[in-house]
Structure 1
Amino acid sequence: MKKKKFFKIIAVNVLVASQLLLAACGNNSEKAGSDSKEYSSDSKLEVSWTAMLHTPSPPTDVVLNKIEEATNADINFNWVPDASKEERITAALASGELSDIVSLTMLTNSSVRQSLKSGMFWEVEKYLDDYDNLKQISEEIRSAASIDGKLYGVPFQKDLARSGLLLRKDWLDNLGLKVPTTLDELYEVARAFTEDDPDGNGKDDTVGFGDRNELRYGSFKTLSSYFGTPNGWAVDENGTFTHEVETQAYKDTMNYSRKLYENGYLDKDFAVTAKNDQMDKFAQGKTGIFTGLVGVTGLLNLAEGIQEEMEIVPVNKIKGPDGKHHIWSENSGVGGLLAFPKTEVESEAELKRILQFINDLIDEEVFMLMTGGIEGTHYEIDENGAFQIIDNELWQKDVQPFSSSRPSEITHSLIDANPAKQQVNELIEENAEFAVLDPTVPLDSQTASERGTELEKIIIDATIKYIMGEIDEKGFDAEVEKWKKSGGDAMAQEFEEAYKKAQK
């Protein structure tokens, strides 16, 4: 039997580079006897899994034991904090020291794409239709998750577009404001939340927009959608690609954000604020606008005992200058890949057994374990068939960390007893009607694969500096020219070639 390559739960504070080196010491010895291992669909699986952790601490074993029982598996999680995933995953890919399953959630990351194209991971397309749940993965999602037409893992299935805004409804009510429907109205809410004492405590201690140190999942990407900015790239009828930074809508978004920042309506510390800190500020009543619809449950949980009066209203429709609704789609409904390194999964028989395990994770029983936990302990279904968490604190400890590792968030649906969460679910479904796709998701560019992350940093840094007033438009344009000459133009050309080839 294979030795365990990772501890059952690895504490976040000891998940450092030295752990990878320790894993390396054990890999060679344990593989010596694995060639003779027999795998069948009903054999007990011992599997290690590098997964992303979006919570402060890893989960307890309470729900893990139930998941193992339901999937006939012994699962050894290697939890990687989401905030440090780029550094940790890049290091692991470079060293080649990986687990049986690796959650690769950064498909645009150049190191990840290079590793996938290098043949490091199994191609799985031909196997998916052999499993009752995996065969339901749509052709659109398979295509979007592929690189050069090859699928190097099981796609995480997500909703097409999950972004939007969460606003303090109680603050709106206190100030006599309505839910904003335009960019001008949203700006006025940000101003009022900052200047008009929305919590009524007589202190100047609130800010409109909370934000964090990234453009994609902070406020900027969503605001740029409202302005009509392309989602990464735009392609015209001639197959010509234009990057979002070369559009006026992108600059309009920067000017809007800069005005928010200059007037103090956008958190002055956004450039050095991590996601968890952004959530804490909202939960503590320091900010009143949060970007990301799916954060509603986490924010309400954090606010318990601190902001008991908190009410949140989710917003998904803000009209742009063209009078229409737009929202960016995150990787066309693909949240990444569950990938299987050939160094760890050494035979087709082992791969098939692991694919059976992934398939089993999509079963409703396991989906509910990873979503709600144990019925009667963590959640209940009320007389109206609505889902409700019984003990938030217990749920956060035992269950919440597993939710981001569900292979599919769209196969099963729940009616949430929490009106705000149910409304979020409905708005996310509605977002699909006006979602803006990134046309490069299924395409490949050698420059993007090799240096995409490095080139993206030029744009990110320039945009943040512009918002903060550290450079002017001329300075930003100079950085865009630097980006173009350093590889931006090459990426556009390569995407055009890949696009035209795909159209044939």
Structure 2
Amino acid sequence: MKKKKLGKLIAVNVLVASQLLLAACSNNSEKTGGDSKESYSLDSHLEVSWTAILHTPSPPTDVVLDKIEEATNTTINFNWVPDASKEERITAALASGELSDIVSLTMLTNSSVRQSLKSGMFWDVGEYLDDYDNLKLISEDIRKAASIDGKLYGVPFQKDLARSGLIIRKDWLDKLGLEVPKTLDELYEVARAFTEDDPDGNGKDDTTGFGDRSDLRYSSFKTLSSYFGTPNGWAVDENGKFTPEFETQAYKDTMNYSRKLYENGYLAQDFAVTAKTDQQQNFAQGKTGIYTGMVDIKNLKVMAKGVQDQMELVPVNKVAGPDGKYHIWSENSGVGGLMAFPKSEVESEEELKRILQFINDLIDEEVFMLMTGGIEGTHYELGENGEFKVLDDALWQKDVQPFASSRPSEITHSIVDADPSKQLANELIKENEEFAILDPTVPLDSATANERGTELQKIIVDATIKYIMGELDEKGFDAEVEKWRKSGGEQMITEYEEAYKKSQE
């Protein structure tokens, strides 16, 4: 064997396994002599290590993994990295150079990630995709959005163009005599009522309108800002001039809206230190009534089983802004990141091609269903009209759910969900494409963004959170924006403008 493999890292406690990311990757010293010349064919058995992001409390069991391996003729050694610590873990691994055969890079705007991609650390797979029946179907728009300077340093995770929106407790709306909000004012009133009017009827002051988390991009703030008409990251005018979103009035209007929510207690008071899993638990336990992210509607209902069995949810994708129109931000133009292949681990073109065949096989409908639903008859069943229904929520959570975020494509196959609210959410996510706002910098490159983009963005994120919490006034926020400009922001603007001009030639 070319590498020493570690076996299935399934039962590892991700909270205490500090070496989880690197454990299966410290193989470089063992790639010596003839072992590095192992031959590969597209139908040979593959042993592959994969650093993947975990969005659930625990890694999956072997039950579905065994079926995935059988279907793809592989042995897969997953190195699960909890979503809450992915930035720290991934950047540390990139810096050390100790990597897996496949690395899920979901933070394409992270400066360390972009630097690593541009450094030549990973294979450029652009010329290979059309050799595979599933990978060749990746659209040119997605390939372009996932590329840097025209090079595609991994297989793009294919996502819907815009998945954001709200999930609201419908049973609480009904109890309080409220309609599903259609405007920002109506949404504010729902947040107020969910906080002050005892929506759960227990006679206690123990509910909050908006649950939230510290990640501004995936918290309520980014979605609210798009409702207000804020550009997605950057605005570019007809002359090719770029303006960062936080220098627009719409962004400041969003900060004021969020600040008012926070001051009145209608926004979770601990949002600045809350992780995604805690935000979900708070919602599932009936502590909050508005959640951001329609795609999570089924997970929330599963989490609420036995705790909030009376819970009824409604997904909402259309909240009109001050201009009376609908807007929603697009996540990287339908790209959820890259499955990247380090040259230090994937040493030959033959090995790369075999791994690409593996990624291609994961998109086959059989494997997609394994990673989505599990084993038919055990985890799910299909109704007379093909409606998908989970048979045992607890079992599905344990065996199947953790694989969902590692599916190479969420758009190649579609499922009609037996749960009406989940199916409605799926349909609304598709509808979002009609009014999605794209980030114009996704296909562009900026040296400053690559080198210090994450550091610079932190200035704005911290300032925004402080403003919402009342720790900074408008003058103080503007001072932080000026700090951003002087620390490299102005150079970033210039570089994006130059790259944009070049792209238009």
Q: What TM-score results when the alignment is normalised by the length of structure 1? A: 0.98
Note the 1:122-137 alignment, pairs <5 A: 122-137=123-138
SS for the counterpart of 2:79 is: strand
Partners of 1:141 and 1:19 in 2: how far apart?
A: 28
CA offsets, 1:199-248, max 9 Å, x none?
11111111100001111000000000000000000111100000001000
Structure 2 equivalent of residue 12 of structure 1: 14
**Matches for 1:226-305 after TM superposition, within 5 Å:** 226-305=227-306
Name 1:84's counterpart in structure 2.
85
Q: Which amino acid aligns with 1:470?
A: E
CA–CA distance in structure 1, aligned partners of residues 117 and 169 of structure 2: 42
Q: Distance in 1 between matches of 2:419 and 2:205?
A: 32
* Rounded Cα–Cα distance in structure 1 between residues aligned with 2:352 and 2:211: 44
State the aligned residue count: 503
Residue 24 of structure 2 contacts residue 79 of structure 2 at CA under 8 Å; is this kept in 1?
A: no
Report the counterpart of residue 417 of structure 1 in structure 2: 418
Q: Secondary structure at the match of 1:426?
A: helix
The match for 2:145 is 144
The residue number in structure 2 matching 1:330 is 331
Kindly state the Cα deviation for residue 35 of structure 1 after the two structures are TM-superposed.
2.6
Who is 2:2 aligned against? Answer: 2
What is the aligned partner in structure 2 of residue 387 from structure 1? Answer: 388
Q: 1:350 to 1:18 in 2, by over 3 A?
A: closer
Find the aligned partners of 1:263 and 1:272 in 2 and give their Cα distance.
19
Equivalent residues of 1:5, 1:76 under 8 A apart: yes
1:488 Cα deviation from its structure 2 partner: 1.0
The code of the aligned residue for 2:2 comes to K
Deviates more, 1:384-393 or 1:249-258: 384-393
Structure 1 contact 282–288 (Cα < 8 Å) conserved: yes
Q: Which amino acid aligns with 2:357?
A: Q
Q: Distance in 2 between matches of 1:414 and 1:17?
A: 37
1:20-419 pair list within 5 angstroms:
20=22, 23-24=25-26, 26-419=27-420
In structure 1, the residue corresponding to 2:470 is in which secondary structure? Answer: coil
Give the AA of the match of 2:290: I
Shift, 1:3, TM fit? 3.4
Q: Contact 2:21/2:93 (CA < 8 Å) preserved in 1?
A: no
Report if aligned partners of 1:4, 1:48 keep a CA contact under 8 Å in 2: no
Cα offsets for 1:310-331 (capped at 9, x unmatched): 0000000000000000000000
Taking the aligned partners of 1:391 and 1:323, their CA distance within structure 2 comes to 43
Matched, 1:450 2:451: yes
Q: In the aligned structure 2, how far is the partner of 1:31 from the partner of 1:252?
A: 59
Describe the SS at the equivalent of 1:234. Answer: strand
Q: Residue deviations 1:146-184, cap 9 Å, x none?
A: 001100000000000000000000000000000000000
Q: Which residue pairs with 1:469 in the alignment?
A: 470
- 1:487 paired with 2:488, answer yes
Query: Shift of residue 484 of structure 1?
Result: 0.8
**TM-score, normalising length: structure 2:** 0.98
By how many angstroms is 1:19 displaced?
6.6
Q: Which runs of 5+ in 2 are unaligned?
A: none
CA distance in 1, matches of 2:66, 2:22: 25
Distance 2:20 2:64 in 1: 29
Q: CA 1:4–1:383 in 2, change beyond 3 Å: closer, same or farther?
A: farther
Letter in 1 for 2:74: A
